[in-house]
Structure 1
Amino acid sequence: MKLALFDLDNTLLAGDSDYHWNEFLIDKGIVDRATHDEANKRFYSQYEAGTIRMEDWLAFQLAPLAKRPRAEIDAWHREYMEQRVRPIMLPKAKALLEKHAKDLRIIITATNHFIVAPICREFGVDNVIACDYEEVDGMLTGKPRGTPSFGAGKVTRLADWLAAQGRAIEDFEESWFYSDSHNDIPLLERVTHPVAVDPDAKLKKKAEDRGWPVVSLREAT
Protein backbone atom coordinates (compact mmCIF):
# COMPACT_ATOMS: atom_id res chain seq x y z
CA MET A 1 0.00 0.00 0.00
CA LYS A 2 1.03 3.61 -0.61
CA LEU A 3 0.54 6.57 1.73
CA ALA A 4 -0.96 9.91 0.69
CA LEU A 5 -0.94 12.81 3.15
CA PHE A 6 -2.69 16.13 2.62
CA ASP A 7 -2.58 19.43 4.42
CA LEU A 8 -6.01 21.10 4.52
CA ASP A 9 -5.89 24.88 4.81
CA ASN A 10 -4.72 26.71 1.68
CA THR A 11 -3.97 23.32 0.14
CA LEU A 12 -7.25 21.44 -0.37
CA LEU A 13 -9.14 24.61 0.57
CA ALA A 14 -8.74 28.01 -1.09
CA GLY A 15 -8.49 29.59 2.34
CA ASP A 16 -7.91 28.83 6.00
CA SER A 17 -10.68 27.03 7.87
CA ASP A 18 -9.42 28.35 11.23
CA TYR A 19 -9.53 31.95 10.07
CA HIS A 20 -12.94 31.54 8.45
CA TRP A 21 -14.33 29.89 11.60
CA ASN A 22 -13.37 32.91 13.68
CA GLU A 23 -14.89 35.28 11.13
CA PHE A 24 -18.06 33.18 11.26
CA LEU A 25 -18.22 33.46 15.07
CA ILE A 26 -17.71 37.24 14.81
CA ASP A 27 -20.46 37.64 12.22
CA LYS A 28 -22.89 35.61 14.36
CA GLY A 29 -22.16 37.83 17.36
CA ILE A 30 -20.89 34.89 19.43
CA VAL A 31 -17.60 36.68 20.18
CA ASP A 32 -16.71 40.36 20.44
CA ARG A 33 -15.84 41.72 17.00
CA ALA A 34 -13.12 44.18 17.97
CA THR A 35 -11.03 41.98 20.26
CA HIS A 36 -11.58 38.69 18.39
CA ASP A 37 -10.88 40.12 14.95
CA GLU A 38 -7.61 41.68 16.10
CA ALA A 39 -6.48 38.45 17.74
CA ASN A 40 -7.54 36.35 14.74
CA LYS A 41 -5.44 38.48 12.38
CA ARG A 42 -2.48 38.54 14.78
CA PHE A 43 -2.42 34.77 15.21
CA TYR A 44 -2.78 34.21 11.46
CA SER A 45 0.20 36.49 10.78
CA GLN A 46 2.21 34.54 13.36
CA TYR A 47 1.22 31.27 11.69
CA GLU A 48 2.37 32.54 8.29
CA ALA A 49 5.68 33.64 9.84
CA GLY A 50 6.13 30.33 11.64
CA THR A 51 6.33 32.04 15.05
CA ILE A 52 2.95 31.06 16.48
CA ARG A 53 2.70 29.51 19.97
CA MET A 54 0.23 26.73 19.36
CA GLU A 55 -0.90 26.52 22.99
CA ASP A 56 -1.98 30.19 22.80
CA TRP A 57 -3.66 29.72 19.43
CA LEU A 58 -5.58 26.64 20.53
CA ALA A 59 -6.72 28.32 23.74
CA PHE A 60 -8.04 31.21 21.62
CA GLN A 61 -9.74 28.84 19.17
CA LEU A 62 -11.34 26.61 21.76
CA ALA A 63 -12.50 29.21 24.28
CA PRO A 64 -15.79 30.07 22.48
CA LEU A 65 -16.69 26.36 22.40
CA ALA A 66 -16.12 25.72 26.11
CA LYS A 67 -19.12 24.63 28.19
CA ARG A 68 -21.49 25.02 25.24
CA PRO A 69 -24.03 22.27 24.53
CA ARG A 70 -22.71 20.05 21.77
CA ALA A 71 -25.95 20.39 19.82
CA GLU A 72 -25.48 24.15 19.74
CA ILE A 73 -21.91 24.16 18.44
CA ASP A 74 -22.69 21.39 15.95
CA ALA A 75 -25.49 23.61 14.59
CA TRP A 76 -23.02 26.48 14.28
CA HIS A 77 -20.70 24.20 12.34
CA ARG A 78 -23.41 23.23 9.87
CA GLU A 79 -24.00 26.92 9.14
CA TYR A 80 -20.27 27.50 8.85
CA MET A 81 -19.88 24.64 6.39
CA GLU A 82 -22.59 26.05 4.16
CA GLN A 83 -21.54 29.69 4.34
CA ARG A 84 -17.76 29.53 4.59
CA VAL A 85 -16.32 26.14 3.68
CA ARG A 86 -18.15 24.71 0.69
CA PRO A 87 -17.42 27.81 -1.42
CA ILE A 88 -13.65 27.30 -0.92
CA MET A 89 -13.50 23.52 -1.49
CA LEU A 90 -11.41 23.26 -4.63
CA PRO A 91 -12.61 20.98 -7.47
CA LYS A 92 -9.00 20.12 -8.30
CA ALA A 93 -8.49 19.10 -4.68
CA LYS A 94 -11.31 16.59 -4.99
CA ALA A 95 -9.71 15.26 -8.18
CA LEU A 96 -6.35 14.94 -6.42
CA LEU A 97 -7.90 13.00 -3.56
CA GLU A 98 -9.62 10.72 -6.05
CA LYS A 99 -6.26 10.10 -7.73
CA HIS A 100 -5.11 8.58 -4.44
CA ALA A 101 -8.32 6.65 -3.78
CA LYS A 102 -6.46 3.31 -3.59
CA ASP A 103 -3.84 4.65 -1.18
CA LEU A 104 -4.02 5.19 2.57
CA ARG A 105 -5.23 8.79 2.64
CA ILE A 106 -4.82 11.02 5.70
CA ILE A 107 -5.56 14.70 6.07
CA ILE A 108 -3.12 16.13 8.62
CA THR A 109 -3.70 19.66 9.81
CA ALA A 110 -2.84 22.12 12.58
CA THR A 111 -6.50 23.13 12.86
CA ASN A 112 -8.50 21.60 15.70
CA HIS A 113 -10.47 18.41 15.17
CA PHE A 114 -13.89 19.96 15.83
CA ILE A 115 -13.51 22.32 12.88
CA VAL A 116 -11.91 19.95 10.39
CA ALA A 117 -13.54 16.54 10.89
CA PRO A 118 -16.76 17.44 9.01
CA ILE A 119 -14.73 19.13 6.26
CA CYS A 120 -12.63 16.01 5.78
CA ARG A 121 -15.76 13.86 5.64
CA GLU A 122 -17.11 16.15 2.94
CA PHE A 123 -13.91 15.54 0.99
CA GLY A 124 -14.47 11.80 1.44
CA VAL A 125 -11.48 11.24 3.75
CA ASP A 126 -12.07 9.35 6.99
CA ASN A 127 -8.54 9.47 8.40
CA VAL A 128 -7.82 12.79 10.10
CA ILE A 129 -4.93 13.96 12.27
CA ALA A 130 -5.69 17.33 13.84
CA CYS A 131 -5.11 19.22 17.07
CA ASP A 132 -7.02 17.51 19.87
CA TYR A 133 -8.98 18.96 22.77
CA GLU A 134 -10.43 17.90 26.09
CA GLU A 135 -14.04 16.79 26.18
CA VAL A 136 -15.85 15.88 29.42
CA ASP A 137 -19.38 14.46 29.48
CA GLY A 138 -19.83 15.36 25.82
CA MET A 139 -18.83 18.99 26.35
CA LEU A 140 -15.61 20.73 25.28
CA THR A 141 -13.60 22.19 28.16
CA GLY A 142 -11.77 24.75 26.01
CA LYS A 143 -8.39 23.13 26.74
CA PRO A 144 -6.10 21.51 24.14
CA ARG A 145 -4.85 17.95 24.58
CA GLY A 146 -1.69 16.18 23.43
CA THR A 147 0.92 17.21 20.89
CA PRO A 148 -0.30 19.83 18.41
CA SER A 149 -0.11 18.65 14.81
CA PHE A 150 1.96 21.64 13.76
CA GLY A 151 5.49 21.80 12.33
CA ALA A 152 7.56 18.89 13.60
CA GLY A 153 4.50 17.91 15.63
CA LYS A 154 2.96 16.60 12.41
CA VAL A 155 5.82 14.11 12.14
CA THR A 156 5.23 12.99 15.73
CA ARG A 157 1.47 12.73 15.39
CA LEU A 158 1.72 10.79 12.12
CA ALA A 159 4.21 8.37 13.66
CA ASP A 160 1.87 7.84 16.62
CA TRP A 161 -1.14 7.33 14.34
CA LEU A 162 0.66 4.81 12.16
CA ALA A 163 2.12 3.00 15.20
CA ALA A 164 -1.43 2.49 16.49
CA GLN A 165 -2.07 0.64 13.21
CA GLY A 166 1.13 -1.39 13.61
CA ARG A 167 2.90 0.57 10.88
CA ALA A 168 5.61 3.16 10.29
CA ILE A 169 6.13 5.59 7.43
CA GLU A 170 9.10 3.53 6.27
CA ASP A 171 6.77 0.58 5.67
CA PHE A 172 5.23 2.30 2.64
CA GLU A 173 6.98 1.84 -0.69
CA GLU A 174 5.85 5.32 -1.71
CA SER A 175 4.48 8.24 0.25
CA TRP A 176 3.21 11.68 -0.72
CA PHE A 177 2.60 14.85 1.23
CA TYR A 178 0.84 17.82 -0.35
CA SER A 179 1.16 21.16 1.44
CA ASP A 180 1.26 24.92 0.89
CA SER A 181 3.19 25.91 4.01
CA HIS A 182 6.83 26.17 5.04
CA ASN A 183 5.64 25.06 8.49
CA ASP A 184 5.21 21.59 6.96
CA ILE A 185 8.79 21.19 5.75
CA PRO A 186 9.65 18.67 8.54
CA LEU A 187 7.00 16.25 7.24
CA LEU A 188 7.63 17.04 3.58
CA GLU A 189 11.21 15.90 4.14
CA ARG A 190 10.02 12.52 5.47
CA VAL A 191 8.02 11.35 2.45
CA THR A 192 9.27 9.96 -0.86
CA HIS A 193 7.16 12.43 -2.87
CA PRO A 194 6.95 15.90 -1.29
CA VAL A 195 4.71 18.24 -3.31
CA ALA A 196 4.37 22.00 -2.79
CA VAL A 197 0.81 23.11 -3.55
CA ASP A 198 0.28 26.84 -4.22
CA PRO A 199 3.19 27.32 -1.80
CA ASP A 200 4.10 30.31 0.32
CA ALA A 201 7.38 32.05 -0.57
CA LYS A 202 9.54 30.07 1.87
CA LEU A 203 8.21 26.70 0.76
CA LYS A 204 8.43 27.64 -2.91
CA LYS A 205 12.14 28.44 -2.52
CA LYS A 206 12.73 25.22 -0.58
CA ALA A 207 10.93 23.21 -3.27
CA GLU A 208 12.95 24.86 -6.04
CA ASP A 209 16.21 24.23 -4.16
CA ARG A 210 15.33 20.57 -3.52
CA GLY A 211 13.72 19.86 -6.90
CA TRP A 212 10.30 19.15 -5.39
CA PRO A 213 7.26 19.48 -7.69
CA VAL A 214 5.32 22.73 -7.36
CA VAL A 215 1.66 22.50 -8.43
CA SER A 216 -1.50 24.57 -8.22
CA LEU A 217 -5.01 23.45 -7.41
CA ARG A 218 -6.37 26.95 -8.03
CA GLU A 219 -5.19 27.85 -11.51
CA ALA A 220 -7.66 27.41 -14.35
CA THR A 221 -7.00 24.38 -16.53
Structure 2
Amino acid sequence: MVGQPDAEPGDGRPEVAGIAESDDVLDRVTALDPARRAGEASAAAAVAAGTDATAEAPATDLTAAAFFDVDNTMMVGASIFHFARGLAARKFFTTSDLLGFAWQQVKFRVGGRETDVSGHRDTALSFVAGRPVAEVVALGEEIYDELMADRIWAGTRALAQMHLDAGQRVWLVTATPVELALIIARRLGLTGALGTVAESVDGHYTGRLVGEILHGTAKAHAIRALAVAEGLDLRRCSAYSDSVNDVPMLSAVGTAVAVNPDSELRDTAKERGWQIRDFRTGRKAAKIGVPSVLGAGVVAGAIAAGVAHRRR
Protein backbone atom coordinates (compact mmCIF):
# COMPACT_ATOMS: atom_id res chain seq x y z
CA MET A 1 0.00 0.00 0.00
CA VAL A 2 2.94 2.32 0.52
CA GLY A 3 4.24 4.25 -2.44
CA GLN A 4 1.38 3.52 -4.82
CA PRO A 5 0.98 6.10 -7.61
CA ASP A 6 -1.82 8.60 -7.37
CA ALA A 7 -4.87 8.03 -9.54
CA GLU A 8 -6.03 10.67 -11.96
CA PRO A 9 -8.36 13.22 -10.31
CA GLY A 10 -11.99 12.29 -10.54
CA ASP A 11 -11.47 8.65 -11.52
CA GLY A 12 -13.70 7.51 -8.66
CA ARG A 13 -11.22 5.21 -6.95
CA PRO A 14 -11.42 5.06 -3.18
CA GLU A 15 -8.64 6.97 -1.46
CA VAL A 16 -6.79 6.27 1.76
CA ALA A 17 -5.76 9.50 3.47
CA GLY A 18 -5.63 11.23 0.13
CA ILE A 19 -3.83 8.43 -1.76
CA ALA A 20 -5.88 6.78 -4.50
CA GLU A 21 -5.36 3.03 -4.45
CA SER A 22 -4.71 1.04 -7.61
CA ASP A 23 -7.10 -1.83 -8.29
CA ASP A 24 -4.57 -4.57 -7.52
CA VAL A 25 -3.69 -3.00 -4.18
CA LEU A 26 -7.36 -2.63 -3.28
CA ASP A 27 -7.94 -6.29 -4.10
CA ARG A 28 -5.02 -7.33 -1.91
CA VAL A 29 -6.06 -5.16 1.01
CA THR A 30 -9.69 -6.27 0.78
CA ALA A 31 -8.55 -9.87 1.23
CA LEU A 32 -7.00 -9.06 4.60
CA ASP A 33 -8.86 -9.44 7.88
CA PRO A 34 -10.45 -6.13 8.98
CA ALA A 35 -7.99 -5.47 11.81
CA ARG A 36 -4.97 -6.01 9.59
CA ARG A 37 -6.58 -4.00 6.82
CA ALA A 38 -7.18 -1.12 9.23
CA GLY A 39 -3.61 -1.33 10.48
CA GLU A 40 -2.05 -1.33 7.03
CA ALA A 41 -4.29 1.52 5.85
CA SER A 42 -3.31 3.54 8.91
CA ALA A 43 0.40 2.90 8.31
CA ALA A 44 0.01 3.91 4.66
CA ALA A 45 -1.65 7.15 5.74
CA ALA A 46 1.16 7.86 8.21
CA VAL A 47 3.83 7.28 5.57
CA ALA A 48 1.93 9.43 3.07
CA ALA A 49 1.72 12.27 5.58
CA GLY A 50 5.49 12.12 6.02
CA THR A 51 7.61 13.45 8.86
CA ASP A 52 6.05 16.64 10.09
CA ALA A 53 8.03 19.81 9.58
CA THR A 54 7.01 21.00 13.06
CA ALA A 55 9.18 18.34 14.71
CA GLU A 56 11.83 20.16 16.69
CA ALA A 57 14.77 18.25 15.21
CA PRO A 58 15.27 15.58 12.56
CA ALA A 59 15.46 12.01 13.82
CA THR A 60 18.96 10.59 14.12
CA ASP A 61 18.14 7.20 15.66
CA LEU A 62 16.22 5.75 12.73
CA THR A 63 15.50 2.26 14.05
CA ALA A 64 13.93 3.24 17.39
CA ALA A 65 10.61 5.04 17.88
CA ALA A 66 7.83 5.60 20.40
CA PHE A 67 4.10 5.03 19.99
CA PHE A 68 1.56 6.85 22.16
CA ASP A 69 -2.14 6.18 22.57
CA VAL A 70 -4.15 9.43 22.74
CA ASP A 71 -7.31 9.19 24.85
CA ASN A 72 -6.46 9.36 28.57
CA THR A 73 -2.80 8.68 27.72
CA MET A 74 -1.70 11.83 25.88
CA MET A 75 -4.95 13.75 26.36
CA VAL A 76 -7.40 14.00 29.26
CA GLY A 77 -10.61 12.35 28.10
CA ALA A 78 -11.63 11.21 24.63
CA SER A 79 -10.46 13.29 21.68
CA ILE A 80 -13.55 12.37 19.64
CA PHE A 81 -15.71 13.70 22.50
CA HIS A 82 -13.91 17.04 22.44
CA PHE A 83 -14.27 17.13 18.65
CA ALA A 84 -17.98 16.37 18.98
CA ARG A 85 -18.40 19.18 21.50
CA GLY A 86 -16.95 21.55 18.96
CA LEU A 87 -19.33 20.27 16.29
CA ALA A 88 -22.25 20.68 18.68
CA ALA A 89 -21.26 24.30 19.25
CA ARG A 90 -21.41 24.73 15.47
CA LYS A 91 -24.97 23.35 15.38
CA PHE A 92 -24.10 20.07 13.65
CA PHE A 93 -26.74 18.44 15.87
CA THR A 94 -29.11 19.29 18.72
CA THR A 95 -29.59 18.02 22.24
CA SER A 96 -32.63 16.04 21.07
CA ASP A 97 -30.24 13.85 19.05
CA LEU A 98 -28.22 12.77 22.09
CA LEU A 99 -29.59 9.25 22.68
CA GLY A 100 -29.57 7.01 19.59
CA PHE A 101 -26.07 5.59 19.37
CA ALA A 102 -24.79 6.26 22.90
CA TRP A 103 -25.06 2.80 24.43
CA GLN A 104 -23.27 1.10 21.54
CA GLN A 105 -20.46 3.65 21.78
CA VAL A 106 -20.17 3.14 25.53
CA LYS A 107 -19.88 -0.63 25.06
CA PHE A 108 -17.14 -0.11 22.50
CA ARG A 109 -15.18 2.31 24.69
CA VAL A 110 -15.50 0.20 27.82
CA GLY A 111 -15.40 -3.36 26.49
CA GLY A 112 -13.94 -3.16 23.02
CA ARG A 113 -15.36 -6.58 22.12
CA GLU A 114 -15.48 -7.57 18.47
CA THR A 115 -19.28 -7.37 18.40
CA ASP A 116 -19.13 -3.84 19.75
CA VAL A 117 -16.45 -2.86 17.24
CA SER A 118 -18.50 -4.27 14.36
CA GLY A 119 -21.54 -2.19 15.24
CA HIS A 120 -19.43 0.87 15.93
CA ARG A 121 -17.68 0.57 12.57
CA ASP A 122 -20.91 1.08 10.63
CA THR A 123 -21.98 4.23 12.45
CA ALA A 124 -19.06 5.98 14.15
CA LEU A 125 -18.08 8.04 11.11
CA SER A 126 -21.44 8.18 9.34
CA PHE A 127 -21.69 11.87 10.13
CA VAL A 128 -18.95 12.69 7.60
CA ALA A 129 -20.52 10.82 4.67
CA GLY A 130 -20.58 13.12 1.66
CA ARG A 131 -18.62 15.87 3.36
CA PRO A 132 -15.33 17.21 1.95
CA VAL A 133 -12.22 15.91 3.69
CA ALA A 134 -10.86 19.47 3.73
CA GLU A 135 -13.89 20.68 5.71
CA VAL A 136 -13.41 18.09 8.44
CA VAL A 137 -9.69 18.86 8.64
CA ALA A 138 -10.37 22.59 8.98
CA LEU A 139 -12.90 21.95 11.74
CA GLY A 140 -10.42 19.70 13.51
CA GLU A 141 -7.80 22.46 13.46
CA GLU A 142 -10.24 24.94 15.00
CA ILE A 143 -11.61 22.57 17.60
CA TYR A 144 -8.18 21.36 18.72
CA ASP A 145 -7.19 24.93 19.52
CA GLU A 146 -10.49 25.60 21.29
CA LEU A 147 -11.03 22.43 23.31
CA MET A 148 -8.03 20.09 23.26
CA ALA A 149 -4.82 22.09 23.55
CA ASP A 150 -5.20 22.59 27.31
CA ARG A 151 -6.08 18.92 27.92
CA ILE A 152 -2.69 17.44 27.10
CA TRP A 153 -1.08 15.53 29.96
CA ALA A 154 2.16 17.42 30.63
CA GLY A 155 3.81 14.28 31.99
CA THR A 156 3.02 12.25 28.89
CA ARG A 157 4.12 15.05 26.61
CA ALA A 158 7.41 15.09 28.52
CA LEU A 159 7.83 11.37 27.86
CA ALA A 160 7.32 12.00 24.15
CA GLN A 161 9.87 14.80 24.30
CA MET A 162 12.36 12.43 25.89
CA HIS A 163 12.19 10.26 22.78
CA LEU A 164 12.43 13.26 20.45
CA ASP A 165 15.48 14.50 22.35
CA ALA A 166 17.05 11.05 21.88
CA GLY A 167 16.68 11.47 18.13
CA GLN A 168 13.77 9.06 17.85
CA ARG A 169 10.53 9.49 15.96
CA VAL A 170 7.22 9.62 17.85
CA TRP A 171 3.82 8.61 16.49
CA LEU A 172 0.38 8.77 18.04
CA VAL A 173 -1.64 5.55 17.66
CA THR A 174 -5.37 6.00 18.20
CA ALA A 175 -8.89 4.96 17.26
CA THR A 176 -9.52 8.64 16.58
CA PRO A 177 -9.94 9.52 12.87
CA VAL A 178 -6.51 9.88 11.29
CA GLU A 179 -7.17 13.47 10.20
CA LEU A 180 -7.75 14.55 13.80
CA ALA A 181 -4.86 12.41 15.04
CA LEU A 182 -2.49 14.11 12.58
CA ILE A 183 -3.63 17.53 13.79
CA ILE A 184 -2.87 16.57 17.39
CA ALA A 185 0.53 15.20 16.39
CA ARG A 186 1.42 18.38 14.50
CA ARG A 187 0.35 20.61 17.36
CA LEU A 188 2.54 18.60 19.74
CA GLY A 189 5.55 18.65 17.42
CA LEU A 190 5.52 14.88 16.96
CA THR A 191 6.45 12.88 13.88
CA GLY A 192 2.98 11.76 12.85
CA ALA A 193 -0.03 9.64 13.71
CA LEU A 194 -1.69 6.32 13.06
CA GLY A 195 -5.49 6.58 13.26
CA THR A 196 -8.76 5.19 11.94
CA VAL A 197 -8.92 5.67 8.17
CA ALA A 198 -12.15 6.70 6.46
CA GLU A 199 -12.55 6.00 2.76
CA SER A 200 -12.86 9.01 0.46
CA VAL A 201 -13.56 9.44 -3.24
CA ASP A 202 -12.72 12.66 -5.09
CA GLY A 203 -12.00 14.41 -1.79
CA HIS A 204 -15.32 13.47 -0.14
CA TYR A 205 -15.95 10.85 2.53
CA THR A 206 -18.01 7.84 1.49
CA GLY A 207 -19.16 7.08 5.05
CA ARG A 208 -17.22 3.80 5.12
CA LEU A 209 -14.06 2.86 6.97
CA VAL A 210 -11.03 1.11 5.52
CA GLY A 211 -11.12 -2.07 7.57
CA GLU A 212 -12.33 -1.25 11.06
CA ILE A 213 -11.69 1.14 13.93
CA LEU A 214 -7.96 1.24 14.76
CA HIS A 215 -8.41 -0.58 18.03
CA GLY A 216 -6.90 -3.55 19.83
CA THR A 217 -5.05 -5.84 17.44
CA ALA A 218 -5.45 -3.30 14.62
CA LYS A 219 -3.04 -1.00 16.47
CA ALA A 220 -0.47 -3.79 16.64
CA HIS A 221 -0.87 -4.40 12.90
CA ALA A 222 -0.44 -0.67 12.29
CA ILE A 223 2.85 -0.31 14.13
CA ARG A 224 4.21 -3.49 12.54
CA ALA A 225 3.32 -2.21 9.07
CA LEU A 226 4.87 1.17 9.88
CA ALA A 227 8.00 -0.56 11.18
CA VAL A 228 8.41 -2.34 7.85
CA ALA A 229 7.88 0.86 5.88
CA GLU A 230 10.18 2.98 8.05
CA GLY A 231 12.89 0.44 8.89
CA LEU A 232 12.12 0.35 12.61
CA ASP A 233 13.30 -2.39 14.95
CA LEU A 234 10.29 -2.94 17.23
CA ARG A 235 12.58 -4.46 19.86
CA ARG A 236 14.08 -0.97 20.23
CA CYS A 237 10.70 0.78 20.24
CA SER A 238 8.47 1.87 23.10
CA ALA A 239 4.68 2.07 23.44
CA TYR A 240 2.50 3.93 25.92
CA SER A 241 -1.19 3.41 26.73
CA ASP A 242 -3.81 3.64 29.47
CA SER A 243 -6.03 0.76 28.32
CA VAL A 244 -5.90 -3.01 28.54
CA ASN A 245 -7.33 -3.00 25.01
CA ASP A 246 -3.88 -1.89 23.84
CA VAL A 247 -2.02 -4.91 25.22
CA PRO A 248 -1.44 -6.21 21.65
CA MET A 249 0.38 -2.97 20.76
CA LEU A 250 2.26 -2.87 24.06
CA SER A 251 3.33 -6.49 23.57
CA ALA A 252 4.71 -5.78 20.09
CA VAL A 253 7.53 -3.51 21.28
CA GLY A 254 10.61 -3.84 23.43
CA THR A 255 9.51 -1.36 26.10
CA ALA A 256 5.88 -1.12 27.23
CA VAL A 257 4.68 1.61 29.58
CA ALA A 258 1.24 1.81 31.20
CA VAL A 259 0.26 5.48 31.52
CA ASN A 260 -2.71 6.44 33.72
CA PRO A 261 -3.69 2.75 33.46
CA ASP A 262 -7.10 1.22 33.96
CA SER A 263 -7.20 -1.48 36.62
CA GLU A 264 -6.81 -4.36 34.17
CA LEU A 265 -3.81 -2.81 32.45
CA ARG A 266 -2.24 -2.00 35.80
CA ASP A 267 -2.52 -5.66 36.79
CA THR A 268 -1.13 -6.80 33.43
CA ALA A 269 1.76 -4.33 33.69
CA LYS A 270 2.66 -5.63 37.15
CA GLU A 271 2.51 -9.24 35.96
CA ARG A 272 4.73 -8.55 32.95
CA GLY A 273 7.13 -6.15 34.60
CA TRP A 274 6.10 -3.17 32.47
CA GLN A 275 6.68 0.36 33.67
CA ILE A 276 3.73 2.26 35.15
CA ARG A 277 3.45 6.05 35.02
CA ASP A 278 0.40 7.72 36.55
CA PHE A 279 -0.06 11.46 36.23
CA ARG A 280 -3.44 11.46 37.96
CA THR A 281 -4.01 11.94 41.67
CA GLY A 282 -6.48 10.54 44.18
CA ARG A 283 -10.16 10.59 43.24
CA LYS A 284 -9.31 11.92 39.78
CA ALA A 285 -7.33 8.77 39.05
CA ALA A 286 -10.25 6.60 40.07
CA LYS A 287 -12.92 8.47 38.15
CA ILE A 288 -11.41 10.03 35.07
CA GLY A 289 -12.14 7.15 32.70
CA VAL A 290 -15.91 6.92 33.15
CA PRO A 291 -17.06 10.49 32.33
CA SER A 292 -14.95 10.64 29.18
CA VAL A 293 -16.28 7.28 28.03
CA LEU A 294 -19.91 8.15 28.63
CA GLY A 295 -19.53 11.62 27.17
CA ALA A 296 -17.87 10.34 24.03
CA GLY A 297 -20.63 7.81 23.53
CA VAL A 298 -23.48 10.25 23.94
CA VAL A 299 -22.06 12.99 21.76
CA ALA A 300 -20.58 10.81 19.03
CA GLY A 301 -23.93 9.07 18.82
CA ALA A 302 -25.66 12.38 18.52
CA ILE A 303 -23.51 13.35 15.57
CA ALA A 304 -24.49 10.24 13.66
CA ALA A 305 -28.14 10.55 14.62
CA GLY A 306 -28.33 14.26 13.85
CA VAL A 307 -26.86 14.03 10.38
CA ALA A 308 -28.93 10.98 9.54
CA HIS A 309 -32.06 12.85 10.65
CA ARG A 310 -31.25 15.87 8.47
CA ARG A 311 -30.76 13.64 5.44
CA ARG A 312 -34.10 11.88 5.74
Normalised TM-score (structure 1): 0.86
Contact 1:90 1:218 in 2 (8 A): no
Deviation of the 1:14 alpha carbon: 0.9
Contact 1:198 1:217 in 2 (8 A): yes
Structure 1's 42 and 34: CA in aligned 2 closer, same or farther, altered over 3 A? Answer: farther
Letter in 1 for 2:243: S
Q: Partner of 1:97 in structure 2?
A: 160
Q: How does 1:58-69 map to 2 (within 5 A)?
A: 58-69=121-132
Q: Partner of 1:212 in structure 2?
A: 274
Contact 2:132 2:204 in 1 (8 A): yes
Q: How does 1:9-48 map to 2 (within 5 A)?
A: 9-37=71-99, 39-40=101-102, 42-48=104-110
Contact 1:26 1:36 in 2 (8 A): no
* Gaps in structure 1 of 5+ consecutive residues: none
Structure 1's 148 and 63: CA in aligned 2 closer, same or farther, altered over 3 A? Answer: closer
Deviation of the 1:199 alpha carbon: 0.5
Larger radius of gyration: 2
Q: Secondary structure at the match of 1:25?
A: helix
Structure 1's 42 and 84: CA in aligned 2 closer, same or farther, altered over 3 A? Answer: farther
Which of these residues, 105, 125, 128, is aligned with residue 190 of structure 2? 125
Is the deviation greater in 149-158 or in 43-52? 43-52
The sequence identity of aligned pairs, in percent, is 27
Structure 1's 112 and 73: CA in aligned 2 closer, same or farther, altered over 3 A? Answer: closer
Instruction: Compute the RMSD of aligned alpha carbons.
Output: 2.3
More strand by share: 1
Deviation of the 1:56 alpha carbon: 3.1
Which of these residues, 203, 215, 230, is aligned with residue 138 of structure 1? 203
Aligned residues: 217
Which structure ranks higher in relative contact order (CA pairs < 8 Å, sequence separation ≥ 6)?
2
Which of these residues, 214, 217, 220, is aligned with residue 152 of structure 1? 217
* Gaps in structure 2 of 5+ consecutive residues: 1-62, 283-312
Is the deviation greater in 87-96 or in 4-13? 87-96
Contact 1:134 1:144 in 2 (8 A): yes
Letter in 2 for 1:126: T
Contact 2:181 2:194 in 1 (8 A): no
Q: How does 1:125-204 map to 2 (within 5 A)?
A: 125-146=190-211, 148-167=213-232, 169-170=234-235, 174-204=236-266
Deviation of the 1:96 alpha carbon: 1.3
Q: Partner of 1:88 in structure 2?
A: 151
> d(CA) in 1 for partners of 2:102 and 2:85?
8
Contact 1:148 1:154 in 2 (8 A): no
Contact 2:65 2:238 in 1 (8 A): yes
Q: Partner of 1:73 in structure 2?
A: 136
Letter in 2 for 1:82: D
